[in-house]
Amino acid sequence: MQQQPLRIGILGGGFGGLYTALRLNELVWDGPRPEIVLIDKSDRFVFSPLLYELVTGEMQAWEVAPPYEELLANTGVTLIKDEITGIDVESQTVQLAARSPLKCDRLILALGGNTRPSDIPGVKEHALPFRTLTDAHRLQQRLRHLEQSDREEIRVVIVGGGYTGVELGCKLADRLGKRGRIRLVDRGSEILKGSPDFNREAAKQALSDRQIWLDFDTEIEAVQAEAITLLYKGQVDTISADLVLWTVGTAVGELIQNLPLPKTAQGRVQVEPTLQVPGFPTFFALGDATDCTDATGQLLPATGQVALQQADFCGWNVWASLNDRPLLPFRYQPLGEMLSLGVDAATLTGLGLKLTGSPAYLARRLAYLYRLPTLQHQLTVGLNWLTRPLLKGLVQNN
Ligand SMILES: Cc1cc2nc3c(=O)[nH]c(=O)nc-3n(C[C@H](O)[C@H](O)[C@H](O)COP(=O)(O)OP(=O)(O)OC[C@H]3O[C@@H](n4cnc5c(N)ncnc54)[C@H](O)[C@@H]3O)c2cc1C
């Protein structure tokens, strides 16, 4: 009787999951090649650091969010587009919304996080998150609607002075131009906590150049259809807002919170430096859904940069666990930090470099081009970046 091949189930096709699948696909197997199955509820991978470029039209959806089918064509990876509704940890079986359960020999949990839910009145109904392609499309729709209205001013309140709030604020200011009235609200006393000083100063300058108002030490009391209520030093104030954007924090979903795996108080799955879940040697996890210290003991931030580097190790370690080889402890190499600060502007600190303005913009673009999944996608996007300005020029001259 012919033996069924082993099956590796990768749950989630984001930075952690997709890049692990691509890594596993490259490796040479001692015995029969296992089936590599990637499961995601969406049909597109989202390169989230470039999601802001959709707001300004600097990039198109196919560049930032290519379909998995395209990325996985010519690979041995099987794609299942379905929602994972549960995981039986003991039997390593994945429950799916529209298909029969899938039993796997190795499981890789890479389901990422969601925008942290809030019980502040009106947030769920009226504030827009900015995390997924759907969020970006919904924002574009709202902006188009507001831009086509006869409003003299378009008042935007962004809640959260972290990376998303700052980057989104600058892009929105550039898109809305003179009509834009943008406020960034944060309960703390500065933007970009934990960021290198150079980047924070560049961001402050970019916000100030765009006349983005900063409200620090301010809590949100409620969000209404066309207003937001703020609390500052005991004083409550309701101001008009055509658009409220909610960019506050990441939380893991209920599915992960309910798993009988070792977790942190915040519900993140604990992993060893080998990216195995303690006590579950055939269960690997990476990315935003996890809490990981690397081989040197440093606690890792929930970023794409970490998930991407983990994917390399995760792919290797899953392969090693099936080929009787030693597993490698993950070592994180911080490569620095890049932020977009409006159209054609950015700031960058890392690898001995400190750049702002157009040089940072160019370096950021090239770094992300290099990081896009698959050589084919890198080439198509790169070619588009080269030819688009030429085509634009030709159209303008005719
Ligand atoms: C707007 C924005 C900008 C960012 N910019 C940067 C940046 O500049 N630099 C940086 O390092 N990091 C950045 N990040 C953070 C980075 O995107 C995350 O840290 C990274 O995506 C985490 O990777 P992950 O694989 O854990 O999760 P994700 O990339 O979020 O992938 C999770 C995947 O799981 C799928 N999924 C979830 N639940 C289910 C389910 N029940 N069933 C099936 N599929 C499911 C999702 O569809 C998704 O494809 C940014 C994030 C955002 C939102």
Measure the CA–CA gap between 338 and 110, rounded to whole angstroms.
24
Using the structure block, give the residue that is written with the tokens 């587009």. 81
Other CB atoms within 10 Å distance of the CB of residue 279: 11
Q: Can you tell me which residue has the tokens 């400190």?
A: 354
In ligand 1, which atom is closest to the CA atom of 113?
Answer: 30
Q: pLDDT of 232-269, one tens digit each?
A: 999 999 999 999 999 998 899 999 999 999 998 889 99
C-alpha 111 to ligand 1 mean position (Å): 8
Residue nearest to atom 29 of ligand 1 (CA): 14
Ligand 1 centre and the CA of 152: distance in Å?
36
CB-based contact 328:313 (threshold 8 Å): yes
Spacing, Cα 295 to ligand 1 middle (Å): 23
Element (H, E) at 138: helix 133-148
pLDDT in the model for residue 111: 98
Q: Would you say how long the chain is, in residues?
A: 398
Lookup: tokens for 62:
């196919």
Give CA angle at 351 (191, 311), nearest 5°: 85
- Determine if ligand 1 sits within 6 Å of the CB of residue 41: yes
Please choose from 37, 303, 314, 361 the residue to mutate so as to test ligand 1's pocket, defined by most ligand atoms within 8 A of CB: 303
- pTM of the model as a whole: 0.94
What 3-state DSSP class applies to 383? helix
Give me ligand 1 centre to Cα 65, in Å.
12
User: Which atom of ligand 1 is closest in space to residue 286's alpha carbon?
Assistant: 26
Question: Is residue 356 classed as helix, strand or coil in its secondary structure?
Answer: strand
For ligand 1, atom 23, the nearest C-alpha belongs to: 15
- The ligand 1 atom at the shortest distance from the C-alpha of residue 111 is 34
Domains of the chain in start order, with CATH, are 7-41+82-113+252-322 (3.50.50.60), 116-248 (3.50.50.60), 337-397 (no CATH)
Q: How far apart are CA 35 and CA 322, in angstroms?
A: 12
Measure the CA angle with vertex 113, ends 161 and 204; round to 5°: 15
Question: 356 and 347 in contact (C-beta within 8 Å)?
Answer: yes
The Cα–Cα gap between 81 and 40 comes to 5
Residue 166 Cβ < 6 Å to ligand 1: no
**The two three-digit tokens of residue 23, written as one number:** 């890594």
Is the CB of 337 within 6 Å of ligand 1? no
Q: Are 168 and 245 in contact (CB under 8 A)?
A: yes
Report which secondary-structure segment, H or E, holds 269: strand 269-271
**Residue 345, pLDDT score:** 93
Dist. CA 290–CA 271, nearest whole Å: 7
pLDDT in tens, the chain (398 residues): 567 889 999 999 999 999 999 999 999 988 889 999 999 999 999 999 999 999 999 999 999 999 999 999 999 999 999 999 999 999 999 999 999 999 999 999 999 999 888 999 999 999 999 999 999 999 999 999 999 999 999 999 999 999 999 999 999 999 999 999 999 999 999 999 989 999 999 999 999 999 999 999 999 999 999 999 999 999 999 999 999 999 998 899 999 999 999 998 889 999 999 999 999 999 999 999 998 888 888 888 899 999 999 999 999 999 999 999 999 999 999 999 999 999 999 999 998 899 999 999 999 999 999 999 999 999 999 999 888 777 676 666 66
Residue 194 pLDDT: 87
Atom of ligand 1 nearest to the CA of 17: 25
CA of 189 to the centre of ligand 1 (A): 27
Amino acid identity, residue 199? Answer: N
Ligand 1, atom 25: closest residue by C-alpha? 16
Question: From the CB of 304, is ligand 1 less than 6 Å away?
Answer: yes
From 36, 12, 39, select the one nearest 252 (Cα to Cα): 12
CA–centroid distance, 396 to ligand 1, in Å, is: 38
Q: What does the pLDDT read at residue 265? A: 85
Structure tokens at 305: 């940069």
User: And the tokens for 356?
Assistant: 């702002």
pLDDT of residue 158: 98
68 within ligand 1 shell (Cβ under 6 A) = no
Q: Environment class of residue 197 by beta-carbon count within 10 Å: exposed (0-12), middle (13-18) or buried (19+)?
A: exposed
Q: Please give the pLDDT value at position 4.
A: 80
